[in-house]
A and B are shown apart, each in its own frame.
Chain A
Amino acid sequence: MASPWLGFFTRKLLYAFAVLLGINLATFALFFQVSSPDDMARLQLGGKRVTPDAIAKWKAERGYDRPLYYNDNGDGLARFTDTLFVDSSLRMFVFDFGRADSGRDIASEIKRRAWPSLALALPSFIVGLGLSICFALGLAFFRATYVDFWGSVVCVVLMSVSSLFFIVAGQFLFSRLMQLLPVSGFSPTSDAWRFLLLPILIAIIGRLGAETRFHRSIFLEEIGKDYVRTARAKGLSEASVLFVHVLRNALIPILGASVTIIPLLFMGSLITESFFSIPGLGSYLIEAIASQDFAIVRAMVFVGSVLYIIGLVLTDISYSLADPRIRLQ
């Protein structure tokens, strides 16, 4: 039993390494194309009246004065290793992200900001998934009736509203008109729920329509299968067919699709976080893009892709656990 797992993990690990290397190269190329180290230094030191000496010093402090991909001055392997790309990429793999342009340590910043992100993303994911499964089951139970029809209509309408409107309307309704909750902000104490309630609610509503429809289609597909007919034939009630047999079988694809997303929950939500000024990882990335802080962006992309790849591997494993016919390959 041990050997297929070992081989599976070795292959996945090698593949993950190759993908991460490619991602590093891509982000590196993209961002150094956008702004050269000189531009970055000028932006950080402020203004146009920066002396060349100050720029050189700023670059030397961060090691940005080395060539990007290929070093003419080195010899042998050092031509490739003594470059900005190799130096900053290899360190990423041991999660040493260096410092942001503002001087803060990126790794500790990411660790600190992951919790607010998770506090927002995890409840909205779990409650959203639960709610949409319940609604989808309800629609499937009343399929081909008015309940199903109007439920589907509501889902399509919910899908068609931009998430920005939900955020703006929610802030306006609950915070400005009713004054129930704060408009935005965050506090790390036990008071955090007051700040999180509205963003969580909005995140759930924003995804509810699409998810309910998706889950409903999975349930309907399951209902058409042979075992359901058998279950009905042996005299089970429609409710017990749906809520026991169909639900259990339909949960396999539903949870399988969710496993991919779970690791990415750490990354938080870009839009919700920056609208509600929650100091999570999503708003971190947006701030970094706005200030063109290359080090943060690369670190965030790296973490994001590691989590994404973990999600892919977890999906493979969970499918093979749920369905013995699928082999690990």
Chain B
Amino acid sequence: MKLALLPTDWLIWAVVLVTLVWSIRMRAHPMLMENWRKVFLKPSAMVSGLVLASFVCIALLDSMRWVDPSRPGDNALSALDRALAPLVQARERRYSAPLAYVSFRKESMERDGQTVRDYPRLQFGGAQLQNPQTEWFGDVLERSAKALVKGLAAVLVLGLLLRWLFRQSPYPWPWAFAAGSLLLLLACWAVELSAAYHVLGTDRTGNSVLWIALKSIRTALVIGVLTTLVVLPLALGLGVIAGYFRGWIDEVIQYLYTLLSSIPDVLLIAAAVLLLQVTIDNHPELFATALERSDARLLFLCLILGLTAFTGLCRLVRGEAMKLRELEYIQAARAFGVSSFGIISKHIVPNLMHIVLISMVMQFSGFVLAEAVLSYVGVGVDPKTQSFGVMINAARAELAATPVVWWTLTTAFIFMLMLVLSANLFSDAVRDAFDPRARQKA
């Protein structure tokens, strides 16, 4: 087994590591701990945090890639790919509706020596049924019942575990339990029925929509997280320097962000993505596989999206740093001869972090939504990457046809809504806990 991580995988794992270290070190800061405690005391934060955590788990599984040398011709597949291998291999030839046993459109075929137009049976979906017209409903019902029993057993175990672990805990565990049970039941159902059907149907080329949606989660989270990672140093660094030093440095930085914010975002992103495409086309030797190529494009998209998005936070940080530098404790530090670097790193940045944290969690969902729009314009992720934007784009063309292929769009809608809604709810809770103005009101 040989690790074969892509650049975005490395970055994702680095982010996970830094977050872990940071949360361990945070235990030494009672103020911060108190704020995070306040976040998780809210039921909405508990539920949305749980949903986000399960999305993050899927994305992490999808960021763990290796090549198996014992198997010749093994590609660098992720843990998620390997877990879902039966689903990936169970390809149909074209569209099929959720839980269907026949193809979505009629085709010409030979039957008893005659050519007839009918719905062909699927290769995988419901292939075990001898007489699908009569057996299908019973089969689905039986499998659902089995899934329900297994799911309820899992829920029971979870409930007892939570009960035992968090007897004295002040956090709203019942809410987390309710949301977790729902997710568990859904997961059980999807796993149980995936053994014989495509739970969410198949797309144009016969790939399972469930698989595509699960893969899209990683793309969305990579865009959200890595773009935030680009925004953070740019906005914090430039904003603090401009606000603290004032004078010509301030002028230059202000000029820079006025410049960037007055160029339409789409244009800047389009130019950058086209630039990358030209570079890739001219230097095919840089990237060994199509996967690496699309990964480079994803990374580049995060970079450029961050470049267009940092101006707002930069302006906020600059204003706050300007206010802070006039305060008495900073004046005192200066009088004691603390260096500018010391003042910035010890006294100014820690007092800005709540603004940075709040605007970062608030921006996250914006990036996820932006990816969909950019992919529609044609300057988003690589068309071969699985992402919600690519899914919507492909589904849009099918809405004009009759009968309508509704399931790809609906799946993208539900997954995206779940992700963005929980990100929004979580960021609300973070803002309420960390914003000193909100605290005064409460």
A31-B270 Cα distance, complex, nearest whole Å:
10
**292-335 of chain B: CB within 8 A of chain A:** none
- Report Cα–Cα, A309/B258, bound state, in Å: 9
Contact assessment for B255 and A18 in the assembled complex, using a CB-CB cutoff below 8 Å: yes
Q: How far is the CB of A174 from chain B (nearest CB, A)?
A: 13
Q: Check A22/B399 contact, CB under 8 A, given A33-B275, A270-B377, A290-B378.
A: no
Q: In the complex, what residues of B have CB within 8 A of residue A270's CB?
A: 264, 266, 377
Interchain CB contact under 8 A, B428 and A156: yes
Tell whether, in the assembled complex, residue A292 and residue B378 are in contact, meaning their CB atoms are under 8 Å apart. Answer: no
Collect the chain B residues with CB atoms within 8 Å of residue A56's CB.
none
Query: Out of A27, A156, A221, which one reaches B263, CB within 8 Å?
Result: A27
A-facing residues in B361-392 (Cβ within 8 Å): 365, 369, 372-373, 376-379, 388-389, 392
Residues A26 and B392 in contact, CB atoms below 8 Å apart: no
- Chain-B contact segment, one of A87-95, A249-257, A300-308, A314-322: A300-308
**How far in angstroms is the closest Cβ of chain A from B304?**
11
Within 8 A of A (CB), among B70-113: none
The answer to whether B421 touches A160 (Cβ under 8 A) is yes
Across the two chains, which residue of chain B brings its CB closest to A217? B438
Interface residues on A, range: 35 or more
Would B428 and A285 count as touching, CB distance under 8 A? no
B interface size (C-beta, 8 A): 44
| A8 lies within 8 A of chain B by Cβ | no
Grouping DSSP codes into helix (H, G, I), strand (E, B) and loop, the B interface class, with mixed when no group exceeds half, is helix
A168 touches B409 (CB 8 A): yes
Select from chain B the residue with minimum beta-carbon distance to A304.
B264
- Does B399 contact A171, Cβ atoms closer than 8 Å? yes
Cross-chain contact B373 with A163 (CB below 8 angstroms): yes
Cβ of A142 to closest chain B Cβ, rounded Å: 17
Is A162 touching B392 in the complex (CB atoms < 8 A)?
yes
Chain A interface secondary structure, helix, strand, loop or mixed? helix
Interface residues in B404-436 (C-beta closer than 8 Å to A): 404, 409, 413, 416-417, 420-421, 423-425, 428
**B140 at the A/B interface (Cβ < 8 Å)?**
no
> Which of chain A's residues 126-169 have a Cβ closer than 8 Å to chain B?
156-157, 159-165, 168
Closest-CB distance, A60 to chain B (whole angstroms): 24
Report which of B264, B409, B420 forms a contact with A160, defined as CB distance below 8 A: B420
A156 touches B421 (CB 8 A): yes
A5, CB-defined interface residue at 8 Å: no
Whether a CB of chain A sits under 8 angstroms from the CB of B272 is yes
User: Cβ of B264: which chain A residues have Cβ within 8 Å of it?
Assistant: 267, 270, 285, 300-301, 304
Chain A CB within 8 A of B167 CB:
no
Contact yes or no, B267 A165, CB < 8 A: no
CB atoms of A30 and B266 under 8 A apart: no
A35 to B416, alpha carbons, bound, how many Å? 35
Q: Are B424 and A159 in contact (CB under 8 A)?
A: yes
Interface presence of B187 (CB below 8 A): no
Annotate A153-195 by CB proximity to B: 1 below 8 A, 0 otherwise: 0001101111111001001100010000000000000000000
Given A34-B271, A285-B267: A305 in contact with B262 (beta carbons within 8 A):
yes
Instruction: Give CA–CA (A156, B418) in the complex, Å.
Output: 12
Question: Shortest beta-carbon distance, A269 to chain B, in Å?
Answer: 11
Cα–Cα, bound, A312→B257 (Å): 13
Which residues of B are found within 8 Å of A221, using beta-carbon distances?
437
Bound-state CA distance A31–B274 (Å) is 9
Contacts of A162 in B (CB 8 A): 369, 372-373, 388, 392, 416, 420
Contact A27 B278 (CB under 8 A): no
Residue of A nearest to B409 (CB): A168
The residues of A that contact B373 with a CB separation of less than 8 Å are 162-164, 271
B24 on interface, CB distance cutoff 8 Å: no
Q: A160-B421, A290-B378 known; A301 and B392 CB under 8 Å?
A: no
Q: Which residues of B contact A301 (CB under 8 A)?
A: 263-264, 267
The answer to whether the Cβ of B288 comes within 8 Å of any Cβ in the partner chain is: no
Q: CA of A260 to CA of B115 in the docked complex: distance in angstroms? A: 66
With most chain B CB atoms within 10 A of its CB, the pick from A35, A274, A289 is A289
Q: How far is the CB of A261 from chain B (nearest CB, A)?
A: 13
User: Does B259 reach chain A (CB closer than 8 Å)?
Assistant: yes
B322 vs chain A, min Cβ distance (A): 14
B413 engages A165 (CB within 8 Å): yes
With the chains together, A172 CA to B376 CA distance in Å?
18
Please indicate the chain A residues that have their CB under 8 angstroms from the CB of B146 in the complex. none
Bound CA span A271–B374, Å: 9
Q: List 25 A-B contacts (CB under 8 A).
A: A19-B255, A19-B259, A22-B259, A23-B262, A26-B259, A30-B275, A33-B275, A34-B271, A35-B274, A156-B425, A160-B365, A160-B424, A162-B420, A164-B376, A176-B400, A267-B264, A274-B377, A285-B264, A286-B266, A289-B270, A292-B274, A300-B264, A301-B267, A305-B262, A308-B261
Residues in A lying within 8 Å of B, measured CB to CB? 18-19, 22-23, 26-27, 30-31, 33-35, 156-157, 159-165, 168, 171-172, 176, 220-221, 224, 267, 270-271, 274, 285-286, 289-290, 292, 297, 300-301, 304-305, 308-309, 312
Cβ-closest 5 pairs across A and B: A305-B262, A160-B421, A30-B271, A160-B420, A308-B262
Given contacts A30-B271, A168-B396, A304-B264, 5 further A-B contacts (CB under 8 A): A159-B420, A160-B365, A162-B416, A163-B373, A270-B266
